[in-house]
DNA sequence: CCTGGCACTCCATGGTTCTAAGTGCTAATT
DNA sequence: AATTAGCACTTAGAACCATGGAGTGCCAGG
């Protein structure tokens, strides 16, 4: 059905359409690409491709345009991820290098990715659940309150205030702090519930109430933060894009962090590049966009995802290269922290 | 020069133009507003208004459109801030009421304001410099590092890690912590540098090095965070607006937090409503937008600003009412925390 | 199976005409 | 002196039309 030449034609159509933003005709194709055949032959191939649903024409007597299915085939079999240029790689290093805390790393990453791809960039904060405890601190505030600070090895800090404890003694807080750190430092956050289970029973009875309150807040802060944070950048690039859907729909979808989180979550293999094309995206407002995403992490521990949102008519090899490269560097930076 | 009727005509022009988005002509004006005069008279007034620069016509034989100067006069003398409806007020309360931590308060505020005004909302995080110290915590991390956590009465938490201290003893950290809290709890952040000045001299000589390091980081965290955080919402509403400038320019300006911070900072009286119309905004990309902003704070302590960005052709009374109301509620919520 | 040739289709472009809305001016009116 | 009615004039935008060009599908010949 699809011999090599037809695939070559499809590849050429995608490449030309992406770069010119105009339906591409048989003559232009035969001219610009060394296909070795005449426009007429190309036309014959085009009808095959159209019958199979890989391309379509906006109207009779116009050139062809790839369909979602066509882009899908292109991404899966006809293209290779384009590595970044040396200059781009240097730009990444110098741009991400200067960051100090997690917020700044994430902020710079999202701007960098937007600039490299000239599209909308999305960066998810590192997941708490995949990191481990670096330190737990308890701070008495006045007589009745205690603040708990949880620091993870990915640089994230969660703090909560625990209220209405009745009178708390400094000593009790001290011993609880020591106990917690002995038990938790170095353990995965996912393991914290287990590690914490039988701690209260090791305390004198009159301290157990406070310990229980602190522990429940601690556990809560782990579970709750499953709704993770996300940062957007490069929305200005939307203005230059032309969606078949309305700009408003896309902006609305992007503003709903929940939507983006779900979409990133659906991305299959967290260690690999994933591409979602057009209607493959489960969200209505984004069915005329494509999303390229990749997981990042420290070593082979996946932490979260980054991605790029753009029109289906996008430079897939280039975008995929940029996303992959930024994800890798981001992992390295986090590991170095 | 400008008698009452001419002002009434200007007011009518602004109101009609804002609601219809079409240049308004003399006949429509005389019909829809009870001006008590004929279209011909209105026309005569219009030439006066045009000579004075308050209105302009897109082309000969079109209706009139307010200029920036016209909007300015309208805002200053011809309109009154429109109070919110009872329903809207209830919406604010229920929407902001459920928030728990500062991030959530700010996040909800920005969405609320965007929804009320159907424009782009901007909320600035409460300034550190106008709040006071609630607690300072020092946490030894390993043998060489100390983490400093600064908690303010506005719920903000700053934490820094101080590195390369050489060996630190728990005792030294303890005594420094106590000293800091004795000296600082309750003082304005702006006063911290003074309050801290002669603390090192009260310590035994061998602890002074560490104290100095901690203090310098503490002071740094106060100064540095002058670059305050900002949150945007309702950018989807941009799609429905029509700027004379390109959408891209506006999006770019909005993405530059620095630009927004500067603009908010320029807003004159922090306790009052401020309106910047069109070219009054010092930023290029926003010269076809208007910005309505208000300060918020606890009691009469101003903390930061919130605002709304929209086309110059906006419903000023309504927008101003919404911004003012949200700013007030935000202050109340923060005070209650 | 490929290719040149050809008739056909359709969009985009540019020019023309027409209309509706609104103006500015003048002369009459209050 | 201010207001109004009447009227000629201007202009953007819609509607309409003709034209050119790019591209197609198909057929017959290599």
DSSP string, A200-265: GGGS-HHHHHHHHHHHHHHHHHHHHTTS--EEEE-GGGGGG---SS-HHHHHHHHH-HHHHHHHHH
Residues B11-16, mean pLDDT to the nearest whole number: 96
* pLDDT tens-place string over residues B80-104: 999 999 999 999 999 888 777 788 8
pLDDT tens-digit readout, B216-227? 888 888 766 645
**Which pLDDT belongs to residue B324?**
96
Q: At what angle do helices A86-97 and A102-117 cross, to 10 degrees?
A: 160
Q: Which of residues 57-76 of B have CB within 7 Å of strand D?
A: 58-62
Write the pLDDT tens digit of every residue in B262-314: 999 888 777 789 999 999 999 999 999 999 999 998 887 788 899 999 999 99
Contact B236 A246 (CB under 8 A): no
CA distance B146 to B314: 52
Residue A132 pLDDT: 84
Residues in chain A with CB shorter than 8 Å from the CB of B134 are 141
Distances (CA, A) of B204 to A90, A94, B172, B207: 48, 43, 9, 6
Residue A280 CA distance to nucleotide D24 C1' (Å): 31
Give mean pLDDT, residues B50-70: 95
Cα of A267 to nearest chain B Cα, Å: 25
Rounded CA-CA distance A123/A305 in Å is 7
Chain B interface includes A143 (CB < 8 A): no
Judge whether residue A40 contacts strand D, using its CB and a 7 Å cut-off: yes
In this prediction, residue B224 carries a pLDDT of: 61
Nearest protein residue, CA measured to C1' of D6: B40
d(CA B54, CA B71): 8
Give the list of residues 6+ apart from residue B191 with CB closer than 8 angstroms, or none.
none
What's residue A278's pLDDT? Answer: 94
Instruction: State whether residue A284 is helix, strand or coil.
Output: helix
Among candidates A134, A139, A255 on the partner chain, residue whose Cβ is nearest the Cβ of B135: A139
Antiparallel, parallel or unpaired: β B65-66 and B157-162: unpaired
Distances in Å between the alpha carbon of A11 and those of A78, A320, A329, B101, B213?
A: 6, 16, 30, 52, 61
Is the pLDDT assigned to residue B168 strictly greater than 90? no
pLDDT value of residue B39: 94
User: Between chains, do A137 and B135 touch, taking CB under 8 Å as contact?
Assistant: no
Long-range contacts of B86-91 (CB under 8 A, 24+ apart): B88/B116, B88/B322, B88/B325, B89/B325, B91/B116
Quote the Cα angle for B73-B78-B83, to 5°: 120
Chain A nearest CA to B62, separation (Å): 30
Contact positions of strand D to protein Cβ (< 7 A): 3-6, 9-12, 21-27
CA distance B199 to B201: 5
Q: In B70-111, where do the E strands start and end?
A: none
Residues of B in contact with A147 (CB under 8 A): 135, 137, 151
Q: Both tokens of residue B118?
A: 């159907």
Cross-chain residue pair B238–A246, CB shorter than 8 Å: no
For residue B235, which residues of chain A lie inside 8 Å, CB to CB? Answer: 235, 251, 255
**Are the C-beta atoms of residues A307 and A102 closer than 8 Å to each other?**
no
Q: Which nucleotide is nearest to A44 (CA to C1')?
A: D25
Which residue approaches C8 most closely, CA to C1'? A61
In this predicted structure, what is the pLDDT of residue A225? 59
The Cα B307–Cα A228 span in angstroms is 27
- Determine the pLDDT at residue B130: 72
- The angle subtended at Cα B329 by Cα B328 and Cα B330, nearest 5°, is 90
B164: pLDDT confidence band, cut at 50, 70 and 90? low
Please check whether residue B252 touches A, CB under 8 A. yes
Size of chain A in residues: 337
Whether the CB of B94 is less than 7 Å away from nucleic strand D comes out as no
Residues A119 and A309: beta-carbon distance below 8 Å: yes
Chain C: positions less than 7 Å from a protein CB are 2-5, 8-11, 20-26
pLDDT of residue A224: 61
B139 CB within 8 Å of a chain A CB: yes
Q: Three-class SS of residue A145? A: strand
Backbone angles phi, psi at B96, to 5 degrees: -85, -20
Name, in order, each residue with C-beta under 8 angstroms of A81's C-beta and a sequence gap of 6 or more: A273, A317, A320, A321, A324
Residues of B in contact with A239 (CB under 8 A): 246-248, 251
Residues 6 or more apart in contact with residue A250 via CB below 8 angstroms: A238, A243, A285, A286, A288, A289, A309
pLDDT for position B288: 93
Spell out the domains of chain A, with CATH numbers in brackets: 4-76 (1.10.10.10), 86-125+229-335 (3.30.450.40), 129-222 (3.30.390.60)
Residue A123: strand pairing partners: A231, A306
Neighboring chain B residues of A177 at a CB cutoff of 8 Å: none
pLDDT value at residue A158: 79
CA of A46 to C1' of D21 (A): 21
Residue A152, min C-alpha distance to chain B (Å): 12
Count interface pairs A-B at CB distance under 8 A.
59
Number of H helices, E strands in chain B: 12, 10
Say if CB A147 and CB A159 are below 8 A apart.
Answer: yes
> Who has greater pLDDT, B105 or A127?
B105
Q: Cβ of B147 under 8 Å from any chain A Cβ?
A: yes
Q: Which residue from B306, B294, B332, B320 is spatially nearest to B124, judged by alpha carbons?
A: B306
- Give SS3 for B44: helix
Cα–Cα distances in angstroms (integers) from residue B39 to residues A208, B7, B19, B25, B58, in the given order: 83, 16, 20, 9, 20
3-class secondary-structure state, position A108? helix
Counting Cβ atoms within 10 Å, is residue A115 exposed (0-12), middle (13-18) or buried (19+)?
A: middle
Q: Tell me the chain B residues in contact with residue A246 when contact means C-beta distances shorter than 8 Å.
A: 239
Can you say whether residue B144 is alpha, beta or left, with left for phi > 0 and alpha for psi between -120 and 50 degrees? Answer: alpha
3-state secondary structure of B309: strand
How would you write the pLDDT of chain A (337 residues) with one tens digit per residue? Answer: 789 999 999 999 999 999 999 999 999 999 999 888 999 999 999 999 999 999 999 999 899 999 999 999 999 999 999 999 999 999 999 988 877 778 889 999 999 999 999 999 999 998 776 778 888 888 777 778 788 888 887 767 777 878 766 778 888 888 898 899 899 988 888 888 888 888 888 888 888 888 888 998 888 887 665 457 899 999 999 988 888 778 999 999 999 988 999 999 887 777 789 999 999 999 999 999 999 999 998 887 788 899 999 999 999 999 999 999 999 999 998 887 5
Å: A272 CA to D19 C1': 54
DSSP letter (8 states) at residue A168:
-
Average pLDDT over residues B36-65: 94
Of the candidates B174, B99, B114, the one whose C-alpha atom is nearest the C-alpha of residue B334 is B99
Angle formed at CA B159 by CA B154 and CA B164, multiple of 5 degrees: 155
Cβ under 8 Å to B: A residues 211-240: 233-236, 238-240
Cα of A38 vs its chain's centroid, Å? 44
What local confidence, expressed as pLDDT, does residue A190 receive? 81
Contacts of A234 in chain B (CB under 8 A): 255
Is B137 in contact with A137 (Cβ distance < 8 A)? yes
Query: Can you give the pTM of this predicted structure?
Result: 0.82
Q: How far is A247 from chain B (nearest CA, A)?
A: 6
- Helix orientation angle between A170-184 and A205-224, rounded to the nearest 10 degrees: 50
Answer whether B159 touches A (CB < 8 Å). Answer: yes
């Amino acid at each position: 059905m699809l011999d090599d030449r037809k695939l070559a034609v499809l590849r050429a159509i995608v490449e030309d359409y992406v770069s010119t933003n105009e339906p591409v005709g048989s003559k232009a194709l035969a001219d610009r690409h060394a296909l070795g055949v005449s426009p007429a032959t190309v036309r014959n191939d085009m009808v095959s491709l159209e019958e199979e649903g890989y391309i379509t024409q906006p109207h009779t007597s116009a050139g062809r345009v790839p369909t979602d299915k066509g882009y899908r085939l292109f991404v899966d079999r006809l293209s290779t991820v384009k590595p970044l240029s040396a200059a781009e790689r240097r730009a990444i290093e110098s741009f991400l290098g200067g960051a100090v805390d997690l917020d700044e790393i994430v902020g710079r990453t999202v701007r960098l990715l937007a600039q490299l791809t000239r599209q909308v960039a999305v960066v998810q904060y590192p997941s708490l659940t995949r990191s481990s405890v670096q330190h737990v601190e308890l701070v008495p505030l006045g007589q009745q309150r205690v603040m708990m600070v949880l620091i993870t090895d990915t640089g994230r800090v969660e703090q909560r205030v625990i209220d209405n404890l009745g009178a708390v003694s400094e000593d009790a807080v001290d011993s609880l702090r020591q106990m917690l750190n002995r038990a938790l430092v170095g353990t995965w956050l996912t393991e914290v519930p287990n590690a914490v289970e039988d701690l209260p029973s090791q305390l004198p009875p009159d301290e157990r109430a406070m310990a229980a309150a602190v522990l429940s807040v601690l556990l809560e802060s782990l579970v709750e933060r499953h709704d993770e944070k996300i940062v957007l950048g490069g929305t200005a690039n939307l203005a230059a894009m032309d969606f078949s859907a309305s700009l408003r729909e896309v902006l609305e979808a992007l503003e709903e962090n929940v939507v983006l989180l779900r979409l990133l979550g659906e991305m299959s293999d967290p260690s690999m590049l994933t591409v979602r094309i057009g209607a493959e995206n489960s969200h209505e407002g984004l069915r005329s966009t494509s999303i390229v995403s990749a997981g990042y992490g420290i070593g082979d521990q996946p932490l979260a995802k980054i991605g790029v949102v753009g029109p289906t008519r996008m430079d897939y090899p280039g975008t995929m290269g940029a996303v992959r490269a930024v994800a890798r560097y981001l992992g390295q930076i986090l590991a170095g922290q």
